[in-house]
Structure 1
């Protein structure tokens, strides 16, 4: 009787653990003291680790989740890490200790999501590899060659925000921002009343 009870308890426990493991559809990424839950469900068509490693050697990373208009998570087959776009600043999508939710934030995030999420991007690095939050710093290029950082500024989804020594494209960004302001693109347009 005692053996049957132990067997039943172990069976139920094993079933519970197995079900919990199978139903887990969220990832949790951790970066040196900063944890962020990624709530996107793994896709059936998501590339394998081998494919991600192969493409990483070619200079491409797979975007797994967009955080906002200037930050996303990528996977290179060996690790997942957060990338902050160099030279620009998009409006915040939520309030934080340092910044308030910004005008045109959801439009900026949606634009980046439509261009990058579950797609390949090429990352170009500058002098400084990481910021103080341990995010990788990069210029982002879509597979068709579109320079995403520049496109965000040009269409008014972000503003110029450069920090030396990462200033490789600062003049280009400043010129694009001037044009966006003059033509009232995106966040430079009239705010709703």
Structure 2
């Protein structure tokens, strides 16, 4: 009986944590996804000719291509494909943190599908991305770290 009570309390605590972290989606801007670049970057239609490039906050997926800064990463194609399947040709809502842009002028955001699915969290939970922080943008880092621990325990994706 004690085990059951503990389990229920644990579930309630996790549910409350998620609910307190989730923004009011009705207040977030909605955009149509135009194109996925890789496992943590994509373009949305903001009404401009080119669109708006989004870099997901607090996650880092392996690089699809080598650059002068990073090597091509193992599991990069899988991460990119996962993000395409998750958000491709859909509407998403964007939540911002302290800084709106990075040094490359990409918009930094947390993304949600219109059904409330936390895109950044799905990438981490399924092992397609690691948690990475760039102060001061850390609004959801605690929740993402918990998801990463789960992915590691279950040996998902990058943690196989």
Equivalent residue number for residue 68 of structure 1 = 38
Q: Distance in 1 between matches of 2:118 and 2:112?
A: 5
Equivalent residue number for residue 33 of structure 1 = none
How much does 1:152 deviate?
A: 0.5
Distance 1:58 1:102, change over 3 A: closer
Structure of higher CA gyration radius:
1
Equivalent residue number for residue 34 of structure 1 = none
Equivalent residue number for residue 74 of structure 2 = 103
Q: Which residue, out of 77, 85, 88, partners 1:114?
A: 85
Would you say how many aligned residue pairs link Structure 1 and Structure 2?
133
How much does 1:170 deviate?
A: 0.8
Q: Which residue, out of 149, 159, 167, partners 2:138?
A: 167
Structure 1 position 91 matched with structure 2 position 55: no
Q: Deviations over 1:102-146 (max 9, x none)?
A: 111111100110111211100000110000000000000012110
Q: Distance in 2 between matches of 1:147 and 1:134?
A: 23
In the TM superposition, structure 1's runs of 4+ consecutive aligned residues that sit over 6 Å from their partners are none
TM norm structure 2: 0.80
Matches within 5 A, 1:9-158: 59-78=29-48, 80-158=51-129
Question: In the alignment, is the contact (CA less than 8 A) between 2:54 and 2:109 conserved in 1?
Answer: yes
How much does 1:73 deviate?
A: 0.6
How much does 1:158 deviate?
A: 0.1
Equivalent residue number for residue 20 of structure 2 = none
Q: Which has the higher contact order (CA 8 A, sep 6+)?
A: 2
TM norm structure 1: 0.67
